[in-house]
Amino acid sequence: MIKGATTKADLSKSRAHWIDASTIAWDAETAPANSYLLHYAADGGIKLANNVVTGGASIPLIYDPSGLTPEQKALWPHLAAYKTFKIRAQDQGLISTILKGQFVVSAGTADFAKDASGVQLPGVLDDLYTYTGPLGATFTGGVPTVRVWAPTAKSVNLQVFADATSPALAVLPMTEGAEGVWSVTGDADWNGKYYLFEVEVYVPATGKVEKNLVTDPYSLALATNSTRSILVDLADPATKPAGWGTVAKPPLGAPEDIALYELHVRDFSVNDQSVPEAARGTFAAFTYDNSDGMKHLKSLQAAGLTHVHLLPAFDFATVNEDKTQRRAECARCARFGPSAGGGGGCGCHGWL
């Protein structure tokens, strides 16, 4: 951890809050002799040593003794007592560039930083880059457009693959829009292809600009173990099971009439001998209407059950979805069953 000699100067902590385009709230001590600076560096390298902030460039911050406005305090009540520092109008044009690199604040003189801190940025991102349009992969006339909200990224490329394991068929640069959304429009034959985002971004944890390969947070489908996203057109008849779109949901008079049953996806069928072995413990088990589990659900419905909440229904980074790669049960779990999993630290059933 990089620290100066003063009590508060510490660039590894982010005590300052950039709450909108012109305002930073910071619990710094103020003094007439102090100057206040926002330091920034596109590729990182800003450091604090011997009570001096070095590296990058800087712009002045103007201390506003009147504090946050009533509207700002209403939005950020936990910062109501913080000091307020303003970014000058002539420096506003630099903000989008500053946000794509490393940035910190300091208080003091040129040769002695009485305080220095990293800066939290959710507020300014919301202020400048609020976006309410589509994200992920959307299809118009069978042609996909892929979008991702990444206002702090320096560049984003879309990697397109034929399947879950083969090399990329194409690497396409994406274009950044005014609201921090990167996009690219592909071809109709992308439907069913796999993809990843290659994001070039400054990473505070490493202090450098990195290139990260990531899946789409708005993925509609993923490869095994979420290694790649899949381009899926939900309007394509091929994606719709028989009867899809014709099932009428029963009306709900009032939410308080709900009788809810939480049901674990795997536990529902993992030991159900009336379900084909390949489908046990999976979503597919719910498609066997005459299985013991489905008969039980129907009996609960007849008794007044109105809703079933399936869980877990999302991907887990620690769960290996490839059953052939799962470890064998230890002796304890083999004797006592899945309910004993993890109790002895074995992890046999950590994927339940």
Instruction: State phi, psi for 119 to the nearest 5 degrees.
Output: -130, 130
Concatenated DSSP letters of 77-134: GGGTTSEEEEE-GGGGGGHHHHTTSEEEEEEEETTEEEEEEEEE-HHHHHHHH---S-
Segment holding 260, helix H or strand E: strand 260-264
Neighbours of 137 (CB within 10 A): 27
Per-residue pLDDT tens listing for the chain (352 residues): 344 444 589 999 999 999 999 999 999 999 999 999 999 999 999 999 888 999 999 999 999 999 999 999 999 999 999 999 999 999 999 999 999 999 999 999 988 999 999 999 999 999 999 999 999 999 999 999 999 999 999 999 999 999 999 999 999 999 999 899 999 999 999 999 999 999 999 999 999 999 999 999 999 999 999 999 999 999 998 888 888 888 888 888 899 999 999 999 989 999 999 999 999 989 999 999 999 999 999 999 999 999 999 987 777 777 788 878 776 666 666 666 655 544 445 555 554 4
33 pairs with which residues across the strands?
Answer: none
Domains and CATH numbers, the chain: 16-126 (2.60.40.1130), 131-236 (2.60.40.10), 255-340 (no CATH)
pLDDT of 352 reads: 46
| pTM attached to this predicted model | 0.84
Distance between CA 8 and CA 18 in Å, rounded?
Answer: 18
pLDDT of 305 reads: 95
Instruction: State phi, psi for 13 to the nearest 5 degrees.
Output: -105, 145
Cβ(138)–Cβ(231) below 8 Å:
no
pLDDT of 319 reads: 76
3-class SS at 104?
strand
- Tell me how far CA of residue 292 lies from CA of 256, 302, 303, in angstroms: 29, 15, 17
Distance between CA 106 and CA 113 in Å, rounded?
Answer: 6
**Residue ranges with strand state E in 150-242:** 153-161, 168-173, 175-176, 181-185, 194-203, 208-214, 229-230
- HSE-CB at 320 with a 13 A cutoff on CA atoms is 9
Cβ(24)–Cβ(119) below 8 Å:
yes
Neighbours of 250 (CB within 10 A): 5
DSSP state of 73: H
